[in-house]
Amino acid sequence: MHEHLGKISSLFISLENSKKRVKKESLQLDTLGILSDKYYDTNVQRSILITSLLSYTLAKKYDIKMPFGSLGENLLIDYNPYHLQAGTRLEIGSTTLEISQNCTICNHLSSIDERLPTLLAKDRGIFAKVIVEGEIKEGDKIYLVSKPY
């Protein structure tokens, strides 16, 4: 039995020729990323960006208001995953994801608020790659499958 960590709060994709994030009820994934996302098959190590609701809570404490999706996440979750090491595997819906790297802060976040890059330096998100293709739906539970050796 795998350890239950949390669940999916919201799902987002980026569309071609648009800077807006689009909220989805489910995502289809294969080993090249999220189908229909503009970043599909661009960098497998950075296929999925996972962000915690805690990042938005932290910003709100500093009176920085932004809608979910503003941090560029694909998966917004109710668990803080930022301590998970590269190689950690998570089972979500019918997929298995592997944490690949921490997300570095992008300068575009300063267009939301100039304090944001510093404030979220270690709390913006983590990247994952798809190990087992499948579907992730809003509300799906997240399970820890394995930790790196």
What is the pLDDT at residue 30? 97
Domain chopping of the chain, boundaries:
3-146
What is the pLDDT at residue 104? 76
* 107 burial level (CB within 10 Å; 0-12, 13-18, 19+): exposed
Parallel, antiparallel, or unpaired: how do β-strands 26-30 and 21-24 relate?
A: unpaired
Domain 3-146 = CATH 2.40.33.20: yes
What is the pLDDT at residue 148? 80
Extract the residue ranges of the chain whose pLDDT is less than 70.
149
Contacts with 2 (C-beta within 8 Å, 6 or more apart), sequence order: 91, 143, 144, 145
What is the pLDDT at residue 149? 67
Give 79-114 as a DSSP string.
Answer: S--TTPPTT-EEEETTEEEEEEEEPPPPGGGGGT-T
| pTM of the predicted structure, to 2 decimals | 0.94
Contacts with 133 (C-beta within 8 Å, 6 or more apart), sequence order: 29, 30, 31, 95
What is the pLDDT at residue 21? 86
Among candidate residues 128, 73, 74, the one with its CA nearest the CA of residue 96:
128
- What one-character DSSP code corresponds to residue 47? S
